[in-house]
Each structure stands twice: as structure tokens, then as C-alpha cells.
Amino acid sequence: MTSLNLGNNLIGDDIKYFELLKLNSTLTTLNLRFNDITDYGIKSLCKSLKYNSTLTSMILAGNPIEIDGVKSICKLFKHNNTLTSLNFSFNFLGNIGTKLICEALKSNPSITSLNLDYNEI
């Protein structure tokens, strides 16, 4: 399996879904849009993806991701250089979260597509 779409399922911060990602070595696209994943869930997701070498696209649109979740994503950027596309639309990043992402992108030039629509910027 190379693409997993779990969008609009309201899985929330259920860690068991994220733990399964540690075992996957073929997934290239992960869609988790509109799942009510909070900063806590994002932290777990990022831990699971820290050493993933296949994921190129991740969609996190429409989740209540705030500053702590953004910090977890930024840490992931330091370890994961296969991500090329990231969709953060419809979250709560604001100016501070957006600045954190921009700073983290300096250390990860592999990201070529970034969607920040509707983030109170």
C-alpha cells in the first residue's frame, strides 16, 4: 500500500493508528484531514514518522493543530527529508505557528509544496 486516506473519520488522538505507521515502509501519501487530531495526536504521529523514509505527502488539513503541534512537526522536519508536500490548511497556526514552520523549512529543503490556507495568518 502506498496511499492511505483516513480523511473525515474523526479518529482524534487515537495513538494506535499512528503506531501502525512505524511498521510501514511503503506508504508515500497519508491523508488525515478533518480528523480532530490535536497537538497531542500530532506529537504521537511525528514520533511514528520520525525515521520514515518513504512518505512524500501528508495532509493534515482541518485538525485543531496549534503551537505545540507545529513544534512537533518542525522537529519532524529535522529528521525526515523525504516529505515534499504538506497540507496544513484549515488549522489554527496563526502568525507564530507559520513563522515556526518557515524557520523549520530552512533546514529541510525537500518540501516543495506547502498549503497554509485558512490558518488565521
Summarize pLDDT for 12-71 with one digit per residue, the tens.
998 888 888 888 889 999 999 999 999 999 999 999 998 888 999 999 999 999 999 999
Q: Which amino acid is at 64?
A: P
CATH of the domain spanning 3-115: 3.80.10.10
Contacts of 21 (CB under 8 A, 6+ apart): 27, 30, 45, 48, 49, 52
Q: Using CA atoms, how far apart are residues 35 and 110, in angstroms rounded to an integer?
A: 26
Q: Using CA atoms, how far apart are residues 11 and 36, in angstroms rounded to an integer?
A: 7
Position 24 scores a pLDDT of 86
Position 20 scores a pLDDT of 83
Q: CA–CA distance from 8 to each of 5, 14, 49, 106 (Å)? A: 9, 14, 21, 31
The whole-model pTM stands at 0.92
Position 82 scores a pLDDT of 92
Q: Average pLDDT, whole number, for the chain?
A: 93
The answer on pLDDT for 81 being more than 90 is no
